[in-house]
Chains A and B, each alone.
Chain A
Amino acid sequence: MVRFKVNGKEQSFDGDPEMPLLWYLRDVAGLTGTKFGCGVALCGACTVHQDGKAIRSCITQMQDVNGAEIVTIEGITPTHPVQKAWMEIRVPQCGYCQTGQIMQAIALLKDNKQPSDKDIDTAMAGNICRCGTYTRIRAAIHQAAKELA
């Protein structure tokens, strides 16, 4: 039995210990804001926070989240300055990757209050946006950093 928290709520799981957290969140817990993109940590669509750090839930097995605090996009309340900046700059096109992008950006700004372009590129390089909203993502992260300062 694995015990952990999702968005502040105690959860337990006694299914396949190898099941990735991603599929637990989506298929078991019904938290569909976390997306499937590649299954092998190449695209970042599945990004959530484990104990405050951005992780790829598609390669994080359930047996490895025992005792962890998981936060998904649904747990980001109230609206975070990163989300506000995403809306003001009108970043999304299809929007599918954006929750992963936002979770990655929130984690970045926790560690680095004033990231440079290069810092942003390094932190966000694992998150693919096929629609190609990268210049807006960069602008939105700078804007959110200003608001958080």
Chain B
Amino acid sequence: MTERNLSPRTMIENVSRRRFLQVGLAGGVFVLAAKVAPDAMHLVALADEPSAPAPLQPSLWMSIAQDGTVTIVAHRSEMGCGSRTALPLIVADELDADWSKVTIDQAIGDPRYGEQDTDGSHSVRSSFELMRQIGGAGRAMLIAAAAEQWNVPAAQCSTEPHFVVHKKTGRKLGYGALAASAAKLPVPKVEDLKLKDRSEWRYIGKESNSLFDLSDIVTGKAIFGMDATMPGMVYASIEHPPVLGQKIVSFDDKETLKVPGVQKTLTLETVTPPHLFKPLGGVAVIGDSTWATFKGRKALNIQWGPSDNSSYNSAEFRKTLEATSLKPGKLVRNVGDVDAVFAKGGKVMEAEYYTPHLAHASMETPVAVVEYKDGKVLAWAPTQNPQAVQETLSNVLGIKKEDVICHVTLLGGGFGRKSKPDQVAEAAVLSKQLGKPVKVVWSREDDIKFDYFHSTAAMYMKAAIGPKGLPTAWLMRTVYPPIASTFDPASKYADDEMGLGWNNLPFDIPNQRSENGPADYHVRIGWLRSVANIYHSFAINSFADELAHNAQKDPVEYLLELVGPPRIVKLDLKGDEAEDDKTYPVDTARVRRVVEMVAEQSKWAKQKKMAGHGFGIAAHRSFLTYVATVVEVEVDHKGQVTIPNVWTAVDAGTIVSPDNIRNQFEGAAVFGTSLALFSEITATNGMINQSNFNDYKLTRINNAPRHIDVQIVKSDKPPAGVGEPGVPPFAPALYNAVFAATGKRVRELPLSRTKLV
């Protein structure tokens, strides 16, 4: 029972995991569950448990029906990064299943899956071993069942896709035929599992992998959040407060109610800090089609009250950030003594960098369908984090988390925006008031104006230049309203973002100091694909290039000198970062490898200097993945920039789907082009100035990089991340190329703000 078998309009009525389980067990299938506990994982064969037919057991991960159909649960969301395919592929590999007989069941939000937030580029790395164990346990049980039937030692049996084989006698039994007897066997302990050697993997790391939903996507059958419906639902579109925190003084909906299809209007309480994922407030127009509600909104006349955030002018705010960046901030990392070096005098270089707010602008705007009934909620949403939906709706409605069932559709892009389910909360609140299911649809203008914005940021960099032009001291300071402000309005420091390229510089400089200055927020701040790495990498890689040119050295050679010899960089980290550092230490050999590789790909050393033509390099490790990018630009006599080529080298450790990874990094170059060349969110008197793709510009096919070459390092290191790490090196590589082409050093994003000619 998967979404793909059902038409869009019947899906919500008919799909039920409960029914799936009951029907499944009655049919004698083999259902394997893994309960994820914080410290340990236990595998349980549900069929063995007397309580198995309980109404809901969402911890089930994998089942095999008697017809051989293998159903694997995807507990992560699909927003275009491939998680929904990659995780089941890992299970299927260890199970030795025939991928064509696998269907995927998208998990609802439930803590029994462990953490389900599809962001931070961590779906594969966080679940890699668990997925292997689930598949491996299933395979062991199928082998045991066959061995019992044949009365031979299990050790004599092996598998080929979807069959257990006894080589000696040439006998084989299909997984479907074995399912019922396998289900009666004890589940092996995790420590007893014999997982495949990586040389035996059929799917992990193979070129043949493609997205599970590929065919549904190209035929229009794929169900995104925008496509979800519920019987009896009404549509809602909400006029949000133009400035964060404004309350409704009065409103007139007379003209709105005359619009054909509009049923009524409802008000939503204006959000107060902490903003969390609570509804923003405003006036909701309810109607019988999306169009009726959009049209009805245009006829609303609302008087808004004051808000402290009305003072927010991003141009002024920039000056505040920049001023703060010139003052000492909170210490983030210290090596040696930069002040002592600076005090000695000698050549010093300084530079300031600035990056604006950005909006996520996924092609699918925020949308959700929610039914509130008798204190319980059923939601369908394109969410990166269904457990955040449970928590948010529980808080907003005052009901138990367990009483929020959140189904996850495909996401039409996410980029971090869809980890924040404020639109689901809006639909829930409205459904409660209306007593029927509600579909909330955000317009593009809503999406751009009322985002959880990527922070605007100012960076100050200072280096003491020693012999050979290499820095003997390096000071870097970063200032921006932190993401934490969304959760705690008193937060002024970006402690959580420091791991995103600010406390782990892989440069071999004896004296280093990195700092973070305080900043207030005036709009909701959120995380956007690669987050603070965007501005951190921009400042670090731009400044490195400035130093290279100052030293009159080749930027690639200089970068390698900055990185220094192969070593593990000693870091002073805490908590999760310290844990990560044990498995994924910052390894300069890996930084060097991607830099050398991309230099080779781009034939860096052989490129000839031409006027209006340049190459730039940047390298950045983020989400535990090492990336180096070379961008080639042409700048014409009008200052118009085109990008003939991009080369990227990636070391993401062990990988699952190489072609998807290339697609992710190709996409990152395009995403990077948008933010490097065009995109910018500004505010005047607390209101966002941009509204749609006319003024929030994104890369199109005619101004995207023409060719993008992605090479992946072959590695057996633990898997890292692939969704985000392509973004951070792109903008600085492009800007360094612009400098090479024009001699102009631009220190702010986007490039469209600067006249090159």
Binding site for B on A (CB under 8 A): 15-16, 18-20, 23, 26-28, 30-40, 42-43, 45, 72-74, 76, 79, 83, 86-87, 90-99, 102, 117, 120-122, 124-138
Contacts and interface: CB of A to CB of B under 8 A. Distances in A.
Given A15-B260, A117-B706, 9 more contacts: A16-B295, A30-B8, A32-B220, A72-B220, A93-B80, A94-B78, A95-B224, A96-B362, A131-B670
A133 B699 CA distance: 11
A139 to B, nearest CB: 10
B701 A130 contact: no
Contacts of B444: 37-40, 42-43
B535 interface: no
Interface in B197-230: 210-211, 213-215, 217-224, 226-227, 229
Nearest to B646: A135
Interface string B655-667: 0000110011011
Nearest to A33: B220
B214 A132 contact: no
Contacts of A137: 701
B441 A86 contact: no
Nearest to A85: B218
Contact of A40 (B9, B219, B412, B692): B692
Given A130-B698, A136-B666, A90 B291 contact: no
A81 to B, nearest CB: 12
A36 B365 contact: yes
B411 interface: yes
Contacts of A31: 220
A90 B295 CA distance: 38
A27 B667 CA distance: 31
A93 B414 CA distance: 11
A38 B692 contact: yes
Nearest to A19: B291
A40 B363 CA distance: 13
A129 B361 CA distance: 10
B220 A99 contact: yes
A125 B659 contact: no
Contacts of A35: 224, 226, 363-364, 412
Among the interface residues B362, B412, B705, which one has the most CB atoms of the partner chain A within 10 A?
B412
Contacts of B210: 87, 90
Contacts of A23: 289-291
17 contacts: A19-B291, A23-B289, A30-B8, A32-B220, A32-B223, A33-B221, A36-B365, A40-B444, A40-B692, A45-B363, A90-B659, A92-B217, A95-B80, A122-B702, A128-B693, A131-B671, A133-B666
Contact of B290 (A26, A128, A136): A26
A79 B659 CA distance: 23
B539 to A, nearest CB: 24
B450 interface: no
Nearest to B411: A94
Among the interface residues A31, A79, A125, A132, which one has the most CB atoms of the partner chain B within 10 A?
A132
A120 to B, nearest CB: 7
Interface in B659-693: 659-660, 663-664, 666-671, 673, 692-693
Interface of B: 8-9, 78-82, 210-211, 213-215, 217-224, 226-227, 229, 235, 259-261, 289-292, 294-295, 361-365, 410-415, 441, 443-444, 659-660, 663-664, 666-671, 673, 692-694, 698-702, 704-708
Contact of A132 (B9, B218, B668): B668
A94 B699 contact: no
B693 A43 contact: yes
Contacts of A27: 235, 289-291
A94 B81 CA distance: 7
Given A38-B692, A96-B364, A125 B214 contact: no
B692 A121 contact: no
Q: Is the interface of A mostly helix, strand, loop or mixed?
A: loop
Contacts of B224: 35, 95-96
B669 A129 contact: no
Among the interface residues B79, B412, B694, B701, which one has the most CB atoms of the partner chain A within 10 A?
B701
A19 to B, nearest CB: 5
A74 B693 CA distance: 27
Contacts of B222: 95
A131 B667 contact: yes
A131 B667 CA distance: 5
A28 B81 CA distance: 32
Nearest to B700: A125
A74 B220 contact: yes
A33 B20 CA distance: 27
Contacts of B363: 35, 37, 43, 45, 94, 96-97, 128-131
Contacts of B415: 130
A87 B215 contact: yes
Nearest to A141: B701
A33 B79 CA distance: 17
B261 A15 contact: yes
**A-B complex: 3 closest residue pairs judged by Cβ atoms:** A33-B220, A132-B670, A96-B412
Contacts of A79: 219
B9 A30 contact: yes
A93 B81 contact: yes
Given A83-B219, A94-B79, A28 B289 contact: yes
Contacts of A32: 8, 220, 223, 226-227
Contacts of B667: 93, 131-133
Contacts of A19: 289, 291-292
Given A27-B291, A32-B227, A137-B701, A131 B413 contact: yes
Contact of B701 (A36, A91, A120): A120
B213 A16 contact: no
Given A33-B219, A39-B443, A90 B211 contact: yes
A37 B362 CA distance: 9
Contacts of B214: 87, 90, 92
Contacts of A93: 80-82, 663-664, 667
Given A132-B667, A133-B663, A94 B80 contact: yes
Nearest to A77: B219
A16 B260 contact: yes
A131 B673 CA distance: 12
B218 A125 contact: no
A136 B663 CA distance: 9
B262 to A, nearest CB: 10
A132 B704 contact: yes
